[in-house]
Amino acid sequence: MEVIDCYLIPRLAGYFGKSAEDNLMINKDGQGFNSGFSYLKNYSNEHDIPLLVYLHAEVQEIKEGKFDKGGQEIIAFCKQNQIPLISGLESGESNEMYIDQIHFNSAGQNLLARALLPHLKEYTRTCR
């Protein structure tokens, strides 16, 4: 799915003159804060969909005990926009939970599920 989403669709869309990322308001070029966060916030507000961000750390961030500049920007955006955020660093992520520098193994996926489950249960209760 990642290959299709991140590589195939943007390349095909580029042949037709417009980037698929432009349609989603996503900025992945590393220049400035990713505008996709504002798009998701606005979309969730317009459609009355609860928005929750889980910010997981990269291995280097675990070693340093803090999020990098991009992570700090996400935290600031969530605070500024009153978006609930779960910090992976505070959830107990450790180096043993990764298959590489950024992707969780099964132990990391388990931690993620345990961190999200209470929030998902609460959201489903309020949606009835």
d(CA 87, CA 98): 16
In one-letter notation, the amino acid at residue 51 is L
- Whether the per-residue pLDDT at 30 is higher than 80: the answer is no
Q: What is the pLDDT of residue 21?
A: 46
Q: What is the 3-state secondary structure (H, E, C) of 4-59?
A: HHHHHHHHHHHHCCCCHHHHHCCCCCCCCCCCHHHHHHHHHHHCCCCCCEEECCCH
Q: How far is Cα 71 from Cα 86, in angstroms, rounded to an integer?
A: 12
Average pLDDT over residues 111-115: 96
pLDDT at residue number 117: 95
Q: Between these two residues, 29 and 69, which has the higher pLDDT value?
A: 69
**HSE (CB half, 13 Å, CA atoms) of 122?**
9
Q: Does position 63 have pLDDT exceeding 60, yes or no?
A: yes
Domain ranges of the chain: 48-126
Q: Which of 59, 109, 117, 48 is nearest to 89 (CA)?
A: 59
* pTM higher than the cut 0.85: no
Average pLDDT over residues 26-48: 80
| Average pLDDT of the segment spanning 61-79 | 95
pLDDT at position 75, please? 97
Rounded to an integer, the average pLDDT of 108-115 is 96
C-alpha 89/C-alpha 44 separation (Å) is 26
Residue 63, SS3 per DSSP:
helix
Query: Which residues are bridge partners to 104 per DSSP?
Result: 98
Mean local confidence (pLDDT), 95-109: 95
Q: What is the mean pLDDT of the chain?
A: 83
The strand pairing partners of 91, in sequence order, are: none
